[in-house]
Amino acid sequence: MRETADVETASEGYASRFSGPVGAWMLAAQLRAVRELLGTPGGATVLDVGGGHGQLALPLAAAGWRVTVLGSEAVCANRIAPAVADGRVQFVSGDVLALPFPDRAFDFAVSVRLLPHCGRWPSLVAELCRVSRCAVVVDYPTLESLNRVAPALFGAKKRLEGNTRTFTLFTHREIEAAFAAGGFAPAGRSGEFFLPMVLHRTLRCRPCSAALEAACRGLGLTKRWGSPVVARFSRDER
């Protein structure tokens, strides 16, 4: 069966999870981490797998990257339709576990909001590695964080957020092993938040959340136990 988890993340309902000042602050933290790991565009090509939500495709295109978004269904292009129509972003529909591109077709590949919702995630990692010439950047929630207690608190999280979904928690070691199988080695990672994102959504106070996370970052908590993690893996040519 095809993997279509990105249909949900490209929906208007999912976008509502990042509405308002707190949501914009969360997305800014994600984008900052991704851009730091990708480096300067220099006209490079990037494939955004499952990126119909537009969280990366639109700002990366504005910064000078040549962006192609791969969505599992045509409906995944709805939120980025204006950018596709005027040529700022290209959109291709296809199987995220069998990407319709040749080996090393893009300089970089990125994927956020998809790995933890993909049942056959090692196959997704393998495809990201196959089509990338230089490096892959992904995000994932890690067990090595406060997310460790997330399964026990999922019911409460569901009541608070309403449209949350179950997701897989990873160790850094198993993610690194999957990329190693594709010939890629770790090349940097950054934790986005120390405190759970549901807490920030519940507080609905961007200055409060920013102050709390700044304190955690200053104490070194985010570096050690931050989640979600944004990580870069570069092709190992040894």
Of 37-41, 50-54, 83-87, 100-104, minimum mean pLDDT range:
37-41
Q: Which of 103, 1, 2, 93 is nearest to 49 (CA)?
A: 93
Asked whether residue 9 carries a pLDDT value surpassing 70, the answer given is yes
pLDDT in tens, 75-126: 999 999 999 999 999 999 999 999 999 999 999 999 999 999 999 999 999 9
How many other C-beta atoms lie within 10 A of the C-beta of residue 212?
17
Query: In whole angstroms, what is the distance from residue 108 CA to residue 137 CA?
Result: 8
Residue 55 amino acid letter: Q
Sheet strands side by side (includes 66-71):
89-93, 66-71, 45-49, 106-111, 132-140, 229-235, 184-191
Query: In whole angstroms, what is the distance from residue 23 CA to residue 29 CA?
Result: 10
Alpha-carbon distance values, 230 to 13, 30, 37, 83, 162 (Å):
24, 8, 8, 25, 25
- The pLDDT assigned to 55 comes to 97
pLDDT in tens, 10-35: 999 999 999 999 999 999 999 999 99
Asked whether residue 156 carries a pLDDT value surpassing 50, the answer given is no
Of 55-64, 102-111, 153-162, 201-210, minimum mean pLDDT range:
153-162
Of 134-148, 185-199, 201-215, minimum mean pLDDT range:
134-148
Query: In whole angstroms, what is the distance from residue 201 CA to residue 124 CA?
Result: 29
Tokens of 78: 């709805």
Sign of the dihedral defined by the CA atoms of residues 148, 151, 154, 155, in that order = negative
Q: Region 125-130: what's the mean pLDDT?
A: 98
Asked whether residue 152 carries a pLDDT value surpassing 60, the answer given is no
Domains of the chain: which residue ranges?
5-235
| Bond preceding residue 228 cis, omega within 30 of 0 | yes
If one compares 156 and 46, the residue with the highest pLDDT of the two is 46
Q: Region 166-193: what's the mean pLDDT?
A: 95
How many other C-beta atoms lie within 10 A of the C-beta of residue 59?
16
Q: Which CATH architecture has domain 5-235?
A: 3-Layer(aba) Sandwich (3.40)
- The pLDDT assigned to 163 comes to 54
- Number of residues in the chain: 238
Query: In whole angstroms, what is the distance from residue 60 CA to residue 183 CA?
Result: 26
3-state helix, strand, coil in the chain (%, to 5): 45, 20, 30
Asked whether residue 190 carries a pLDDT value surpassing 80, the answer given is yes
Q: Region 30-47: what's the mean pLDDT?
A: 94
